[in-house]
Structure 1
Amino acid sequence: MDDNAPTPRRQPETLDPRAELSEFLRTRRARLQPHDVGLPSFGRHRRVPGLRREELAQLAGVSVAYYTRLEQGNGRNVSGEVLDAIARALRLSDAEHAHLTHLARPTAHKKKKATRPQHLRPAVQHLMDAMDGVPAYALGRRSEILGWNRLAAALFGDWGLLPPEERNWARLTFLSEDMRTLFDETWQQKASDMVSFLRMEAGCYPNDPLLSALVGELSVKSEEFRRLWAEHDVREKGHGVKRLRHPVVGELTLSFESMRLPDDYEQTLVTYHAEPGSPSAEGLRLLASWGVDAAAPAARSEVP
C-alpha cells in the first residue's frame, strides 16, 4: 500500500446546515454586481465576484458584523424580518427565499423523521393508471420513484425491473446513459432541475442520512453533478417542455406538469402530454399500443 496516497474523503452522514447556509448566501451574493442593485462601483478591479459583504449588509439594513456572522453560518435566532430583508437585497426568488428560511431557521418541518417510509396512496396509483395516453409518475423525497403508469414505463423504461433502491430520478439522470440519450439536447436542463430539487430537499431535511448518501454517491460518480451541486441553485419547476429521442418512436416534444400532492407535500405527481394532433401525440399513441408490460403496482416495494 502506498503510504503517500491521499486518504479518500469520508462522506458525512448528514449535510451540515451551517455550511449549506454559508455557501448559499455566498453564491447568491456573488451573482450580483453593484450596478444590478443601484450601487456605485468603485475601482476597476474588485477582489471578490459580485457584491461585497458590506454592500449586501447596507442593502439589507443590517450591520456588516451581523451579516458576516450569518454568512459564516453563525447566525442564531435570526428573525423572519431580517431574512426577508436579506432575501430582497439578494433578489431571491420565492423558492430561494423559502430555502434560505429552511437553512437559517430550524422548523418543525425539519424535525420530521426524514427516514420514515414513503407510501403512495393507492388512489394516486389508480389515477395514474386511468390516465389514457398520458405518461405519469410520482416522486417522493430525494427523487425516489414511488409509482408510475404503463405509458411512463414505455416512455422512460420499466422501472419495475430495477431494485427499489435504484428507482431514483437523480441516479438515473446522472448515471444512466439511456436517460442521457433519451433527453438528448434537453438533458442539461433536466440535470439542472434535478439538482435544484435535491437542494430544496436538503434545506428541509439537512439531517437525512439517505439524502447525504445519495449526494455523496452522485458527487463521486458524476462530474456534472458535482459542478451543479456547487452552484447552490434552487427553484421550483412546475411545468415546461422536454424534447425526447425515443428509441422506438423517435423524437417527441412533450409538455410536463409537476404537482405537489395536497395531502403530502413531499410527493409530486409528474405528467407528460403532447399537443393534440401533433406528430408527438401520434408518437405517444404508438407507444401506448407498443405493449410494454409495466410492473404491477402491487409489486412496487415501499421506499424509505
Structure 2
Amino acid sequence: MADRENNTALGAFLRSRRAAVKPEDVGIVSYGARRVPGLRREELAQLAGVSATYYARLEQGHSANASTSVIDAIAQALDLNADERAHLHDLARPTPVKRRRAVRPAVPRPGTRRIIEAMSDVPAVVLGRRTEVLVWNRLGHLLLAGHCDFEAPSRTADRPNLTRMLFLDAHHRDLYANWDEEATRAVASLRLVAGRHPDDRELAELIGELSMRSPQFASLWSRHPVATCTSGTKHIRHPEVGELLLDFEVLHLPDDSGHRVLLYSAEAGGPSHTALAALQLLATGIGHTSATTPAVSPDLVR
C-alpha cells in the first residue's frame, strides 16, 4: 500500500513541477497552442537525458528505485531547489517499509520535558513528527493555545496538533496576521515529512482528515509545496497582549524520533519583547487552564 501511495505522490509531484517550467525558459520553441502548461513529458525526458518511455513509466508509478543519477538529472532539468530535490529522492527511492508494528503514542524524553518546563521566559513546544504537541511550557501554551487544557498533550486522545488547529480551530487560526503564509509553510513542511514516511498511518489519516474538512488545506496540498521550515518570523495577534513579531527556531532532536523543539523569541527592548514579558506574567499567574478564553472542542485538537 505504501509503495503504491508513494508512486502516486511521485507522479503528482513531477507533474506539478513539470507544469511550472516555461518551455521558453529552457530553450524549447513552441509551435502552436499547448493543451497543458509547462513541459511535455518527452521534452523533460530530453532535457534530463533519459528516454521518454522510461520517464513516462516513472511519472506513472510503474518504475521503482530509479538511480540517483537519473533523479539528479530530472531535478536539474526541473530546476528544483535543495528541499525539492530531497523530496524527489524520498519519493523516487523510498526507504523499504519495515514490518508494521503496533503504533505507540509519541512520548517526549524526560530530560527534554524537564528542560522545556524550566524555560520560563521563552515560549517552547516539543512537537512530534506529525506536529502533535508532546509537551509545552506555560509560556508556549499561553502563546499558542491558551484556550486548550494545559495538560492536553499528556492525553493522546485529545492531544493538540498545530497543523490541525491552524486549519480547523478558529481561535488558533486568528493568531496569525499572515495566515496564508503560515498555512503554506505548514503544508510545505508536512509534505516533506510525508515523503520521508510513506508508511506512517497516523500521518496519512491526518492528511486525509484535513483534506476532507478544510478546502484550503486540500487546495494547498494539491500544489505540492515543499520546504524545510527551521527558522523565520511570525506575526501573532494575541488576544491577551496584542501584536507580537516573533522569531522562531526549530531544533531537531538528535535521534530518530522525529521530535523537534519549537522556540520563540523577540528582539530585546522592542514592543514584542514587552508584550512577551506581559504574557510571561500571565503565564506565571494562571493555573492549568485559562479561565479567560473559551475551551476548544476536543474534536479539533485530538
Please state which band the TM-score falls in when normalised by the shorter chain.
0.7 to 0.9
2:196 corresponding residue in structure 1: 204
> Which residue of 262, 273, 290 corresponds with 2:254?
262
* Residues 36-115 of structure 1: pairs in structure 2 closer than 5 A: 36-37=25-26, 39-43=27-31, 45-108=33-96, 110-111=97-98, 115=103
Contact 1:32/1:51, CA 8 A, preserved across alignment:
yes
Is 1:30 aligned to residue 19 of structure 2? yes
Q: What is the aligned residue count?
A: 282
* Residues 222-233 of structure 1: pairs in structure 2 closer than 5 A: 222-233=214-225
Query: Which structure 1 residue ranges, 5 or more long, are not aligned?
Result: 1-11, 296-303
What is the distance in 1 between the residues matched to 2:204 and 2:193? 11
CA separation of 1:188 and 1:113: change in aligned 2, threshold 3 A: farther
> Which residue of 245, 250, 259 corresponds with 1:253?
245
Deviation at residue 166 of structure 1 after TM alignment: 4.0
CA separation of 1:294 and 1:269: change in aligned 2, threshold 3 A: farther
Deviation at residue 238 of structure 1 after TM alignment: 1.2
Instruction: Tell me the amino acid that sits aligned with residue 237 of structure 1.
Output: C
Deviation string, structure 1 residues 227-280 (Cα, Å, up to 9, x no partner) = 011111111011111111111100101011112112236111111100110010
What is the distance in 2 between the residues matched to 1:113 and 1:104? 21
CA separation of 1:15 and 1:212: change in aligned 2, threshold 3 A: farther
* Residues 267-286 of structure 1: pairs in structure 2 closer than 5 A: 267-286=259-278
Is 1:192 aligned to residue 187 of structure 2? no
Is 1:167 aligned to residue 155 of structure 2? no
Deviation string, structure 1 residues 99-129 (Cα, Å, up to 9, x no partner) = 1112111325x53858343221122122222
TM-score (normalised: structure 1): 0.86
CA separation of 1:29 and 1:223: change in aligned 2, threshold 3 A: same
Contact 1:244/1:252, CA 8 A, preserved across alignment:
yes
What is the distance in 2 between the residues matched to 1:147 and 1:25? 37
Deviation at residue 153 of structure 1 after TM alignment: 1.0
Contact 2:145/2:172, CA 8 A, preserved across alignment:
no
CA separation of 1:112 and 1:103: change in aligned 2, threshold 3 A: farther
2:296 corresponding residue in structure 1: none
TM-score (normalised: structure 2): 0.87
Deviation at residue 77 of structure 1 after TM alignment: 3.0
Q: Which runs of 4+ in 1 moved over 4 A?
A: 12-15
Contact 2:188/2:227, CA 8 A, preserved across alignment:
yes
1:298 corresponding residue in structure 2: none
Deviation at residue 294 of structure 1 after TM alignment: 4.5
Q: Which has the higher contact order (CA 8 A, sep 6+)?
A: 1
Instruction: Tell me the amino acid that sits aligned with residue 168 of structure 2.
Output: L
2:206 corresponding residue in structure 1: 214
Instruction: Tell me the amino acid that sits aligned with residue 16 of structure 2.
Output: T
Deviation string, structure 1 residues 52-93 (Cα, Å, up to 9, x no partner) = 111111111101111110011111231111111111111122
What is the distance in 1 between the residues matched to 2:91 and 2:43? 22
Contact 2:47/2:77, CA 8 A, preserved across alignment:
yes
Contact 1:15/1:212, CA 8 A, preserved across alignment:
no
CA separation of 1:280 and 1:212: change in aligned 2, threshold 3 A: same
Instruction: Tell me the amino acid that sits aligned with residue 169 of structure 2.
Output: S
Cα RMSD over matched residues?
Answer: 2.2
* Percent identity over paired residues: 45
What is the distance in 2 between the residues matched to 1:79 and 1:168? 37
